[in-house]
Structure 1
Amino acid sequence: MLNARIKLRHLQAFLEVARQRSFARAAERLSITQPGISKTIRELEDTLAVSLFERTPLGVSLTQAGLTLLRHAGPAVRALEEGVDALQAVQTGAHWLRVGALSTVESRLLPEALRRWQSNTASERGAQVITGTSAFLLSRLRRGELDVVVGRMTEAREIHDLSFEHLYYERLQLVVRHQHPLLAEPSLTADRLSAYPWIVPPPQTTLRHQVDSFCVRHGIALPMQRVETLSLALGHRYTLTGDAIWVAPEEAVRTALRCGELCELALPLELHGGSVGICTNRSLRPSLAAEAFCDGLREVAVEVIKGHNP
């Protein structure tokens, strides 16, 4: 039985401090004073007879007890919020969805699935799409702040205690603009790539790990002249206006390759690609809105697979 001394405000304060890793920032987000949030956390620690946070040079971090509470408190508070949202949805006919999206699905899978999800009902449906790295999005999913995360993430360490459903495989490709100097070389070798700027995913991302593995296999180093980004729009435009080599998700450049605007180099970065899929928090019961959205993702994935194998 839950201790009667533990109130919702205690759990909300705990989750916000864990999220912000700072009492000051958490207090600002919750619109209370820093002494007020410190008192609330002390009350929770006294009730549980454990320390939940410890000071670090960068702010605060969770103790082992704090990590244990986080695994349960986040989904519990999220479930309560979903209950309130469900009651409001019954009254207004509206449905709300929170999606985490990796760059690998921004071009086709996600927008098409969202379009179908919103159009396949007479009631109003709203969605909030959060982008970022797999580590960032999966941590929010684990805390119950997202309903689902979509993208290529099977290589992420943070996925181990979550539920992942495979949809299809997708490769990273080395692409350049039409008439790039490297396209004229009869026998392209990896050492020639270092002479040009690169556009690559940022460090500590699952996609960057694949780039680093490619460099190790071929005995080359990434050039200092590079742009590190997950932005597809930036990567596309930068590639078209110069001699950069773009490490791009296959689906993101499919149309540009077919029309000849971009070209894939005759040196594969990876042969089989990684698994693109749906990640959910198994400790949370999915909402009807999330279930309907995932059905749409599966439908679009079948069409993406057919596009991979025309």
Structure 2
Amino acid sequence: MDVHLRDLRYFAAIAEELSVTRAAERLFVSQPALSKQLRALERRLGCVLFDRVPGGVALTRQGAALLPVARELLTRWDAGYETVRAAAPAGTLVVGMQTAVGRGLQREALRRFRAAMPGWEVSLRLVGWDDPSAGLSDAGSDVAFLWLPAPPGLATRVLATERVHVVLPADHRLAGQDEIPFAALRDEPFVALPTAAGPLRDFWLALHARDTVPAIGSTASSPEEVFEAVAGGLGVVLVAEGNAELYQRPGLVHRPVPDLPSSELAIAWRDGDTRPWVAAFLDAMADHV
């Protein structure tokens, strides 16, 4: 029976915070998603790790026995991971992203980064919407392109500010309009990001502009799933103007929604991360932007 390191990392965070809510904030995941992972770990182990108590949780005897083992495994893995990276003649910078970036932002920045860090490689990592940190929360990414709002614990720098568009089928009743006010969309079913996306999900459902709960026609974890759902007639979706251009599909059209706030694309990194390769990439992005 194998357990993922992520499950142990989640367990250790809950044990240290003695609160699922605080642990979720620390890990950049939603509380429901963290609770679901904890229940899955308990089923896998065949025992209860926490008792629910007023104000939070308390370790059971089994949980207290697991905690030092989990901490040792996580410490050894983190040390081993850094040792492996340091053993290479150079290294690999992992750039997380949730959508294609485009907008002329990457090519020149990557050229400048390679000039500053000779021998280093760059790996682009596409991360699902269920991780709003795009891999920063579990150290799978060194930096990431994110749509704001970002989870707590991350530093960000805005790279582009764009109007919000709605993507809908070409035969939709509103498709003939040059612009579509949000009032005309409120009763439409929407394609939503996973609940784990948290405030990012709320932004793209425009909860700030609603006084009722939106109708959810489908939930999607990647851009491909989003646009397939729209093409299938399951709902409409709000996107940044640049992404509407990047992800054009036959049978779909996009129109500006002029009365919604603009969207912001940012480069993000873990707050306090001063590693030289991260700083070199941020400098390259700053020079390019």
The residue number in structure 2 matching 1:207 is 200
Taking the aligned partners of 1:276 and 1:62, their CA distance within structure 2 comes to: 38
The residue number in structure 2 matching 1:49 is none
The residue number in structure 1 matching 2:278 is 290
The secondary structure found in structure 1 opposite 2:261 is coil
Displacement of 1:151 in angstroms is 0.7
The secondary structure found in structure 1 opposite 2:160 is strand
AA aligned to 1:228 is T
Change (3 A) 1:54 1:99: farther
The residue number in structure 1 matching 2:87 is 88
Displacement of 1:231 in angstroms is 1.7
Change (3 A) 1:175 1:22: closer
**1:127 paired to 2:123:** yes
Taking the aligned partners of 1:74 and 1:299, their CA distance within structure 2 comes to: 40
1:45-56 matches, cutoff 5 A: 54-55=50-51
Taking the aligned partners of 1:13 and 1:183, their CA distance within structure 2 comes to: 45
Change (3 A) 1:116 1:241: farther
Which of residues 146, 149, 153 is equivalent to 2:148? 153
**1:99 paired to 2:84:** no
**Cα deviations by residue, 1:152-195 (Å, 9 ceiling, x for unpaired):** 234x4x42x44333333244321224453213369956554356
Change (3 A) 1:190 1:23: closer
Taking the aligned partners of 2:85 and 2:98, their CA distance within structure 1 comes to: 27
1:128-207 matches, cutoff 5 A: 129=125, 131-133=127-129, 137=133, 141=136, 144-154=139-149, 156=150, 158-159=151-152, 161-184=153-176, 190=182, 192-193=184-185, 196-203=188-195, 205-207=198-200
**Cα deviations by residue, 1:59-114 (Å, 9 ceiling, x for unpaired):** x9788xx9xxxxxx99987884575245412xxx34122333234xx342676478
Taking the aligned partners of 1:99 and 1:174, their CA distance within structure 2 comes to: 28
The secondary structure found in structure 2 opposite 1:182 is coil
AA aligned to 2:166 is L
Give the structure-1-normalised TM-score: 0.56
**1:227 paired to 2:221:** no
Q: For structure 1, which segment, 111-120 or 232-241, has the greater mean C-alpha deviation from structure 2 after superposition? A: 111-120
AA aligned to 1:152 is W
| Percentage of matched positions with identical amino acids | 15
Change (3 A) 1:297 1:178: farther
Change (3 A) 1:289 1:124: same
**1:263 paired to 2:254:** yes
Runs of 4+ in 1 over 6 A off after TM superposition: 60-63, 73-79
RMSD: 5.1
Change (3 A) 1:252 1:86: same
Change (3 A) 1:17 1:179: closer
The residue number in structure 1 matching 2:67 is none
Give the structure-2-normalised TM-score: 0.59
Taking the aligned partners of 2:119 and 2:171, their CA distance within structure 1 comes to: 50
Asked whether the 8 Å contact 1:144–1:281 carries over to 2, the reply is no
AA aligned to 1:246 is V
Change (3 A) 1:127 1:243: closer
Q: Which has the larger radius of gyration?
A: 1
The secondary structure found in structure 2 opposite 1:181 is coil
Change (3 A) 1:86 1:256: closer
Displacement of 1:54 in angstroms is 4.3
Displacement of 1:124 in angstroms is 5.6
The residue number in structure 1 matching 2:271 is 281
The secondary structure found in structure 1 opposite 2:168 is strand
AA aligned to 2:201 is R
Taking the aligned partners of 2:156 and 2:260, their CA distance within structure 1 comes to: 22
1:29-48 matches, cutoff 5 A: none
Higher helix content, 1 or 2: 1
Number of residue equivalences = 246
Structure 1: segments with no counterpart, 5+ residues: 1-11, 29-33, 39-52, 67-72, 303-310
The secondary structure found in structure 1 opposite 2:262 is coil
